[in-house]
Amino acid sequence: MFRKLLLMLMVLVLLPGLCLAEGQTPSFVMAGFDGQNSNRDWATNQFFTRMEARTGISFTFQQYNKSEEWKAAKDAMFADGGQMPDVLFKANLTTDELIRYTDSGKLIDLAPLLQEYAPNFWAIMEEHPEWLDAITLPNGKIGALPSIQTESGQNILWINKTWLDNLGLAMPTDFASLREVLIAFRDMDPNMNGKNDEVPLSFLGPWDLKFFSHAYGVVANDYNLYLDDAGQVHYWADEDSFFQLAGTLRDLYAEKLLDQNGFYTNDYLRRSTTDDNPSTYGMFFAPTPLSLLTYKQSADYVPLPPFVFEGQQVYRDLYGALGRGAFAITSACADPAAMLTWVDWLYTEEGAVEAMMGTKDVNYTIDEDGFWDWKSTLDTQITSMELQILTIYDTGNMPWMFPQAFYSNYADEGVRRLTTETYNYAVYLKRPFPYYTLTLEESARIQPLQNQLGRFVDESFASFILGEKELSDENIAAFRQTLRDLGMETMLQLWQPVADRAYTK
């Protein structure tokens, strides 16, 4: 259980003392979103206990574990006459919210305070000025600090290497060799249970399958947009490679090489929770095999390298290094400097490790080879309940610099292998767009267009693959005309200045 928890949530300066009157314990109100259906209780979590011991600062908490409730709470607290907390932690603030509330003054502008009161964070921004640009709003303000994870999780295509070895097959390098591998997975009983129960390639809907765009040298974002080397915005669904991919996937689906339930199932129904049954998946998209399989079953899987296109291998960088909107201070806070000093500790390796792990030799140990492992109070493998009390990092959007090097040295060899292979995939990653921030006006115009275009593209892509709509010249021409009718050219015109701003920074 711990290993799955650890992997699914996949990156030194002492905190300056605060000047407090003797016996004074400053207390602030903290609100935030710990993640959908989290079981953690901030009021009893040892992270905050450790931070209070370090800083002398305590909090009363307004914690939310459901996204819709957190959104409603934000709307209420920022409404006229609303009761605002002092600080928002794991704030999950959208760009629109950051712009609106820094414009109104309800969120303070952190930019003038960072160099003095968050020196560790500021040093990271000086080293990565593109990140500072990314968190700076169009109004010039910084409304929130980010989560930083240099090797973030990706939607990787994992392949069953044990099956390849059992069948004497090489790793596929293009669609032709992929097809041959998938046929063998379908027909040759690679899990050796005497049943025809193998799913050659599992996926969830059009979103997963569009990651195959890398085979044509394309990495598009969820708007179906990408930027070429000259900074020009392209709409991928209007390009020939979109229809070429749809045709290739249609043929694989017709041969039952793609999961026949891929457009209809959900992630929960695909999961394997017991080692008693053999794995049935030849390939699937996921951040880690532990997303779908048990720890033992996951040992069979390795990432499939992207296919080569014109001498290059690229793959979509799904998340990038930054998770914006993680920590903000409201105008209700009487001491913003103290709050920034408090959070700045989390942007050091020592502070991040303490947030993740607790106290060395009390909550975790490091062996002579430099590998770390948990210590359980029960003298057994640490339980998920203990982790919920001990740590704060594994749900929600944590404000910190993820301690990548430390995290990679977990004592379990299998966990280290999966972690290392995931991080090694970074050499292929390419962002569809540089970091950008939409103005409120841009967002208001783009989102209705995206609602129309995105739904039409995904539904049509699925229809082509399922064979419900023939990939004829006539149908392709009609699809392209509908893109224009729904506003594709306006979408490109709106995104080009956004790209120009980001591209020239």
- Model confidence at 379, pLDDT cuts 50, 70, 90, reads low
- Write the pLDDT tens digit of every residue in 417-460: 988 888 889 999 999 998 889 999 999 999 999 999 999 999 99
Q: Is there a domain that residue 435 lies in?
A: no
Task: Give the number of domains in the chain.
Answer: 3
The residues with which 58 forms a beta bridge, in sequence order, are: 27
Whole-prediction pTM:
0.88
Residues 118 and 45 in one domain: yes
Q: Rounded to whole angstroms, what are the CA distances from 121 to 38, 97, 336, 401?
A: 27, 22, 15, 9
Q: What is the pLDDT of residues 451-468, one digit of tens each?
A: 999 999 999 999 999 999
Domain check: are 335 and 310 in the same one?
Answer: no
Task: Please give the pLDDT value at position 187.
Answer: 97
Distance CA 353, CA 363 (A): 11
The pLDDT of residue 82 is 92
Domain termination site, one of 284, 316, 348: 316
CATH number for the domain harbouring residue 214: 3.40.190.10
**187 and 296 fall within a common domain:** yes
Q: Are 217 and 315 in contact (CB under 8 A)?
A: no
Classify residue 112 by its DSSP letter: H
Q: Do 173 and 204 have their domain in common?
A: yes
Q: Provide the residue range defining the domain that includes 47.
A: 2-13+25-151+321-427
pLDDT band at 300 (very low <50, low <70, confident <90, very high): very high
Q: Contact at 8 Å (CB) between 217 and 312?
A: yes
CB 84 within 8 A of CB 120: no
Q: What is the pLDDT of residue 3?
A: 43
The single-letter code of the amino acid at 42 is: W
pLDDT in tens, 27-82: 899 999 998 888 899 999 999 999 999 999 999 999 999 999 999 999 999 999 89
Given this model, what pLDDT does residue 340 score?
98
Q: What is the pLDDT of residue 503?
A: 62
Q: Is residue 90 part of a domain?
A: yes
Same domain, 6 and 137: yes
On whether residue 233 sits in a domain, the answer given is: no
Q: How many residues does the chain have?
A: 505
* Burial class of 316 by CB neighbour count within 10 A (0 to 12, 13 to 18, 19+): buried
- Please give the Cα distance from 122 to 497 (Å, whole number): 28
Pairing of strands 429-430, 315-316: parallel
Q: Is 211 found in the same domain as 120? A: no
Residues 62, 131 within the same domain: yes
Low-confidence winner among 20-29, 68-77, 205-214 (lowest mean pLDDT):
20-29
In a domain, residue 432? The reply is no
In whole angstroms, how large is the CA radius of gyration of the chain? 24
Q: At what angle do helices 46-55 and 336-344 cross, to 10 degrees?
A: 120
In this predicted structure, what is the pLDDT of residue 17? 33
Instruction: Residue 393: count other Cβ atoms within 10 Å of its Cβ.
Output: 20
Is the pLDDT confidence value at 247 over 70? yes
Picking from 57, 6, 10, 64, the residue whose alpha carbon sits closest to that of residue 32 is 64
The SS3 call for residue 125 is helix
The helix (run of H) or strand (run of E) holding residue 184 is helix 175-187
| HSE (side-chain half, CA atoms, 13 Å) at 384 | 11
pLDDT bin (cut points 50, 70, 90) of residue 11 is very low
| Cα 351 to Cα 341: distance, rounded to the nearest angstrom | 12
Give the model confidence (pLDDT) of 359-376 as tens digits.
Answer: 999 899 999 999 999 887
Instruction: Read off the tokens for 121.
Output: 């964070």
Between CA 133 and CA 139, with CA 137 as vertex, the angle to 5 degrees is 125
**Of 258, 283, 316, which marks where a domain is finished?**
316
How far apart CA 280 and CA 194 sit, in angstroms, is 12
Is a pLDDT exceeding 80 seen at residue 26? no
State the Cα–Cα distance between residues 363 and 377, nearest whole angstrom: 8
Alpha-carbon gap, residue 331 to 314, rounded angstroms: 44
Per-residue pLDDT, 377: 62
Q: What is the mean pLDDT of residues 370-394?
A: 78
pLDDT bin (cut points 50, 70, 90) of residue 490 is: very high
The answer for residues whose C-beta is within 8 angstroms of residue 133's C-beta and 6 or more apart is 435, 502, 505
> DSSP letter string over 288-314?
SGGGTS-HHHHTTEEEPPPPPBTTB--
Is residue 328 a part of any domain in this protein?
Answer: yes
pLDDT of residue 13: 27
Residue 209 lies inside a defined structural domain of this protein: yes
User: Strand, coil or helix: what is 32?
Assistant: strand
User: Could you tell me the end-to-end alpha-carbon distance of the chain, in angstroms, rounded to an integer?
Assistant: 44
- CA-to-CA distance for 464 and 228, rounded, in angstroms? 26
- The answer to whether residue 447 sits within a structural domain is yes
- Cβ atoms of 225 and 233 within 8 Å: the answer is yes
pLDDT of residue 7: 40
Q: 392 and 368 in one domain?
A: yes
281 and 179 in one domain?
Answer: yes
- Nearest CA to 258 out of 198, 304, 201, 197 is that of 201
- Candidates 433, 182, 424, 174; CA nearest to 310 is 174
Strand 145-148 and strand 87-89: the pairing is: unpaired
- From CA 20, how far away is CA 22, in angstroms rounded? 6
Same domain for 310 and 165: yes
Q: pLDDT tens digits, residue range 87-146?
A: 999 999 999 999 999 999 999 999 999 999 999 999 999 999 999 999 999 999 999 999
Asked if 272 contacts 202 with a C-beta cutoff of 8 angstroms, the reply is: no
For every residue of 447-498, DSSP letters joined together read HHHHHHHHHHHHHHHHHHHHTSS---HHHHHHHHHHHHHTTHHHHHHHHHHH
Residues 205 and 339 in one domain: no
Please tell me whether residues 42 and 124 are part of one structural domain.
yes
Task: Supply 355's token pair.
Answer: 């947030």
What is the rounded distance in angstroms from the CA atom of residue 149 to the CA atom of residue 146? Answer: 10
Q: What is the structure's pLDDT at 231?
A: 93
Is the residue at 229 inside a domain?
A: no
Of 387, 402, 427, which residue sits at a domain end? Answer: 427
> Can you tell me the mean pLDDT for 485-499?
97
pLDDT on residue 268: 72
